[in-house]
């Protein structure tokens, strides 16, 4: 890989395997380490705005980490870190190291030769299912109401499966679309030492008033899960400590009743749950696109972070 090439999935996997600790590495730290293996300079990765190289690399790395977990080439430790899989003793006894590598290369070549439209991963299966629904609707085999319900469900599942790093970028793109030209500068701050803040927007209205908006994205693998009031209290504390004028808490699931009650009493705090998230996504075309007047999932947005 030359310095200017964008890393492929295989190159990302190689970078991850090269920096992960045998007993496990915290996810955000693992992503930061992996970025140093892609051939870019610290100066090139310095920009952390929404459309920056740094942000795209983090999102793609996060998606690949999820795919590695699904494939069993990574595992989650009891304390939540990511680690290499436990060696299979039986395979070690029957195959030499060279034979195992040859077998892995052969399997990779077979997968590449098939070149499916969607990757054989949980995210790929969700996108493929959504595309089949889209084709069925266009062919008249599905009513509009049933198709839109299936589309919203698939979009929710795709966001959940793509991972926390992807959701942070998704949230930033959504807020940039909402605020439009009022945003003078933006920064995705998520990382090992982010203090619970995933992004910042520096806003200036036509009258010259300036605001600093913090947001935090809470990714839930279970779309029926709830974000507790403890999370919003901690978020408000960080906002106050760092001088933010407004804060936005975004989730792909729901907020607990106590969380909503707490936030309703704070004029500088906004909650965006899954339903509101989808409405904004369709309103601004983030993660979805329209073809001949029909909405469908934007595959490239999820698979290539474009």
pLDDT tens-digit readout, 26-69: 998 999 999 999 989 989 888 888 888 888 899 889 989 988 98
* Closest C-alpha to 82, from 20, 9, 13, 5: 20
37: tokens are 């293996």
Higher pLDDT, 264 or 103: 264
Q: How far apart are CA 299 and CA 241, in angstroms?
A: 39
How far apart are the two ends of the chain, measured CA to CA in Å? 21
Query: Who's near 29: CB < 8 A, 6+ residues apart?
Result: 192
Q: State which of 30-44, 67-81, 159-173, 271-285 shows the largest mean pLDDT.
A: 271-285
73: tokens are 């080439």
Given this model, what pLDDT does residue 156 score?
A: 94
CATH of range 163-272; options 3.40.1440.10, 3.40.605.10, 3.40.1350.10, 3.40.50.300: 3.40.1350.10
Give the distance, in angstroms, between the CA of residue 114 and the centroid of all CA atoms in the same chain.
27
Given this model, what pLDDT does residue 94 score?
A: 58
Given this model, what pLDDT does residue 142 score?
A: 93
Query: Who's near 134: CB < 8 A, 6+ residues apart?
Result: 147, 151, 294, 296, 297
How confident is residue 282, by pLDDT bands cut at 50, 70 and 90? very high
258: tokens are 């106590």
* Closest C-alpha to 174, from 272, 56, 300, 246: 272
3-state secondary structure of 217: strand
**Contact of 48 with 165, CB cutoff 8 Å:** no
* Closest C-alpha to 252, from 227, 229, 215, 288: 227
Query: Who's near 160: CB < 8 A, 6+ residues apart?
Result: 219, 220, 221, 223, 252
Q: What's the mean pLDDT in 172-192?
A: 91
Q: State which of 3-12, 91-100, 227-236 shows the largest mean pLDDT.
A: 227-236
Query: Who's near 249: CB < 8 A, 6+ residues apart?
Result: 215, 216, 218, 227, 231, 232, 235, 255, 263, 269, 270, 271, 272
Given this model, what pLDDT does residue 99 score?
A: 74
* Closest C-alpha to 9, from 58, 51, 60, 56: 60
Answer whether residue 280 shows pLDDT above 90: yes
Q: What's the mean pLDDT in 124-153?
A: 95
Domain segments of the chain: what residues?
9-84, 122-161+285-303, 163-272
Give the distance, in angstroms, between the CA of residue 230 and the centroid of all CA atoms in the same chain.
23
Q: What is the chain's mean pLDDT, rounded? A: 88
Given this model, what pLDDT does residue 89 score?
A: 55
Give the distance, in angstroms, between the CA of residue 99 and the centroid of all CA atoms in the same chain.
36
pTM: 0.76
How confident is residue 196, by pLDDT bands cut at 50, 70 and 90? confident
Is beta strand 82-83 parallel, antiparallel or unpaired with respect to 75-76? antiparallel
Q: What is the CA radius of gyration of the chain?
A: 21
Given this model, what pLDDT does residue 117 score?
A: 77
How confident is residue 90, by pLDDT bands cut at 50, 70 and 90? very low
Which CA distances in Å does 61 have to 58, 197, 228, 239?
A: 5, 20, 28, 28
Q: What's the mean pLDDT in 180-200?
A: 86
pLDDT tens-digit readout, 217-255: 998 766 678 999 999 999 999 999 999 999 999 999 999
Given this model, what pLDDT does residue 5 score?
A: 65
């Amino acid at each position: 890989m030359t310095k200017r090439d964008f890393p492929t999935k295989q190159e990302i996997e190689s970078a991850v395997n090269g920096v992960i600790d045998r007993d496990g590495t915290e996810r955000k730290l693992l992503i930061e380490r992996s970025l140093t293996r892609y051939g870019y300079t610290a100066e090139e990765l310095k920009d952390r705005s929404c459309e920056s190289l740094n942000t795209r690399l983090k999102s793609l790395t996060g998606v690949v980490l999820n795919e590695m977990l699904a494939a069993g080439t990574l595992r989650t430790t009891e304390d939540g870190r990511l680690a290499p899989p436990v060696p299979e003793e039986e395979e070690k006894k029957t195959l030499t190291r060279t034979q195992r590598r040859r077998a892995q290369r052969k399997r990779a070549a077979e997968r590449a030769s098939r070149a499916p439209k969607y990757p054989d991963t949980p995210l790929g299966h969700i996108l493929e299912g959504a595309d089949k629904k889209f084709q069925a609707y266009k062919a008249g085999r599905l009513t509009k109401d049933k198709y839109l319900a299936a589309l919203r469900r698939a979009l929710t599942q795709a966001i959940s499966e793509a991972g926390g790093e992807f959701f942070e970028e998704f949230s930033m793109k959504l807020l940039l679309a909402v605020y439009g030209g009022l945003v003078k500068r933006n920064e995705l701050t998520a990382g090992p030492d982010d203090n619970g803040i995933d992004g910042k927007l520096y806003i200036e209205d036509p009258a010259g008033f300036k605001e600093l908006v913090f947001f935090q994205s809470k990714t839930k693998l279970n779309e029926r899960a709830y974000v507790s009031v403890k999370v919003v209290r901690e978020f408000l504390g960080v906002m106050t400590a760092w001088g933010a004028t407004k804060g936005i808490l975004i989730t792909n699931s729901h907020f607990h009743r106590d969380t909503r009650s707490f936030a309703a009493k704070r004029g500088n705090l906004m909650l965006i749950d899954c339903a509101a998230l989808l409405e904004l996504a369709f309103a601004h075309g983030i993660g979805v696109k329209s073809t001949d007047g029909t909405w469908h999932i934007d595959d490239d947005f999820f698979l290539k972070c474009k």
